[in-house]
Amino acid sequence: MEFQKVGARKRFGQYLTVWKRNKKGKWLVDIRAEVENLGNKEASELAFYEPSESWYLKHRSQVRLGQRKEIVFETDKLMSAVLKADNQAGYKEFLNDDARLLFPWIQPIEGKKNILAYLKKSRMDITTTPEQVGRAYSGEYAYSFGTATIKLKDKVVKYNYIRVWKLSELAKDDVTKANWNVLVEMMFER
C-alpha cells in the first residue's frame, strides 16, 4: 500500500485482510492489520486465496465448527511451544514453502528459505501466545491472532501477530497426513 497525508512524504507498507461471509451472504472484514516499511522495493503482487474447489462439506453444527477451530488453535499453541525452545526449528517445521513474513520497517520476505535466513541473521528471539482463531467454512484456510514478544539484541518489543494457515495438499488424499502450514505471518506493534 502507499499512502500520504497532505504535506507529508509518501509512506509504504503492506496490509492483510481476512474476509468472512455472514449468514446473509454479505462479506465482512473479520480481521485486518497493516505494517509500514521503507518502500525502497517494488511492491509484490496482491495475493488472494480461495478454496480450491467450490464443493465442500458444509458443517452447520456449532459444535463441529468449534472443533475445527480448536484444531487450528492447538496447532498455533504447538508452534508457540516450539518457538519458545528454538525459533529456527519452529519456523522450519510450520512455514509453508511460499510463506511471507510481514514485519514493520523491513521489506516483505517471501519464501521459507529467505525467512529462515533473515531470522538467523537478525538473531531475533520470538515467543508467541495465541488468543483467537478463525477458519474458513471450506476448511482449507484459517487464521490465528495473538501476542508476540520479540527480543532484538538489547531490547524487547511487544507485538501482535496474525498467521494465515493453509491445510496441506496431502490432506485431500489422506486425512492422516493433514497438517497446517503458515502461509503469511504478520507482526505489528501493539
Give residue-wise pLDDT tens across range 48-67. 666 665 555 566 677 877 88
- Model confidence, pTM: 0.84
Residue pair 148/187 in contact by the 8 Å Cβ criterion = yes
**How would you classify the pairing of strands 95-102 and 180-189?**
parallel
Domains and CATH numbers, the chain: 7-189 (3.10.450.50)
d(CA 169, CA 166): 9
Q: What's the 3-state SS for 41-107?
A: CCCCCCCCCCCCCCCCCCCCCHHHHHHHHHHHHHHHHHHHHHHHHCHHHHHHHHEEEEEEEECCCCC
For the chain, percent of residues with pLDDT exceeding 70:
84
- If residue 157 lies in a helix (H) or strand (E), which one and from where to where? strand 155-167
63-98 per-position pLDDT tens digit: 877 888 899 999 999 999 999 999 999 999 999 999
The residue whose grid cell reads 503458515 is 182
